[in-house]
């Protein structure tokens, strides 16, 4: 994030194939947050849902699912070919 969300996403993606992180819920959560910042809301929603599926703690799982739903709603507010909400 020090440079930009895209740089953070590149770093997170580089860790995606690390076997020890396959079941670690924070990696997809970080990816989701960065994807959302880049306006890639459908992908962000999917990653938040994946992070939630890895969580056993119910309140944290619910938080991640709430974020997934919020990203899904955000994607419906965007016009075609833009990454800015219509508001």
User: Mean pLDDT, the chain, as a whole number?
Assistant: 87
**pTM for the full predicted model:** 0.81
| pLDDT range class, residue 75, cuts 50, 70, 90 | confident
Mean per-residue pLDDT for 67-74?
93
Task: Provide the pLDDT for residue 82.
Answer: 44
User: Cβ distance 78 to 84 under 8 Å?
Assistant: yes
pLDDT in tens, 11-55: 999 998 999 999 999 999 999 999 999 999 999 999 999 999 999
d(CA 1, CA 12): 11
Give pLDDT, residue 77: 64
The C-alpha atoms of residue 33 and residue 5 are separated, in whole angstroms, by 9
For 33-43, the pLDDT digits (tens) are: 999 999 999 99
Residue 16, SS3 per DSSP:
coil
Write the burial class of residue 38 (CB in 10 Å: 0-12 exposed, 13-18 middle, 19+ buried): middle
């Amino acid at each position: 994030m020090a440079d930009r969300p895209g740089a953070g996403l590149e770093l997170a993606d580089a860790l995606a194939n690390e076997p020890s992180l396959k079941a670690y819920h924070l990696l997809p959560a970080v990816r989701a947050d960065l994807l959302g910042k880049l306006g890639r809301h459908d992908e962000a929603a999917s990653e938040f849902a994946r992070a939630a599926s890895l969580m056993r703690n119910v309140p944290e799982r619910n938080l991640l699912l709430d974020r997934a739903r919020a990203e899904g709603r955000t994607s419906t507010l965007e016009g075609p070919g833009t990454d800015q909400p219509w508001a």
